[in-house]
């Protein structure tokens, strides 16, 4: 059974290996253990991991800077896509950000165009929508119902 939990410092190596396999984002600078450790130290609840029987199968970073909400690193194991895991990660991120008071301050940033993001968006999108539109936050609000309070 999949559980979504916050990342711990002991997860850093597994997270980096998972992102290398599943994040599909070659345009970004290489992630480092030090950067993930800083994230966990600064905001221990920001990096959410989906774990199934001890294996990392999904991730999302749900950041809140006191002004805006930010979602990064939505990644789902390619073998697990299309089964609701991405949606579960978005739901967990929404729960975290709403608890912090951030649901009414959504960033207009974009997810990186990975297979997981496109597949998740297409599974929830309106018919005929250009997949590039799915990368805009406005589309995520519309598709997932994650809207300002």
Residue-wise pLDDT tens for the chain (149 aa)? 999 999 999 999 999 999 988 876 666 677 899 999 999 999 999 999 999 999 999 999 988 888 777 778 888 998 998 888 988 998 898 888 888 877 655 453 444 545 555 555 555 444 444 444 444 444 444 444 444 44
In the chain, the number of structural domains is: 1
Residue 25: which domain range?
2-107
Instruction: Read off the CATH number of the domain in which 72 is found.
Output: 3.40.630.30
Beta sheet of 55-64, edge-to-edge order: 2-6, 47-52, 55-64, 69-76
Residue 58 lies in a domain: yes
Residue 116 lies in a domain: no
Distance CA 4, CA 88 (A): 8
């Amino acid at each position: 059974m999949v559980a979504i939990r916050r990342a711990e410092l002991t997860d850093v190596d597994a997270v980096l290996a998972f992102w290398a396999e599943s994040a599909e984002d070659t345009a970004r600078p290489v992630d480092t253990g030090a950067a993930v450790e800083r994230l966990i130290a600064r905001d221990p609840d920001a990096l959410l991991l989906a774990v199934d029987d001890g294996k990392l199968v999904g991730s999302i970073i749900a950041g809140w800077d006191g002004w805006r909400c930010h979602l990064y690193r939505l990644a789902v194991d390619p073998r697990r896509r299309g089964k609701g895991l991405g949606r579960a990660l978005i739901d967990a991120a929404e729960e975290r950000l709403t608890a912090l008071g951030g649901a009414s301050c959504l960033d207009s940033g974009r997810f990186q165009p990975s297979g997981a993001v496109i597949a998740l968006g297409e599974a929830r999108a309106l018919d005929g929508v250009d997949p590039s539109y799915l990368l805009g936050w406005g589309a995520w609000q519309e598709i997932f119902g994650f809207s300002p309070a």
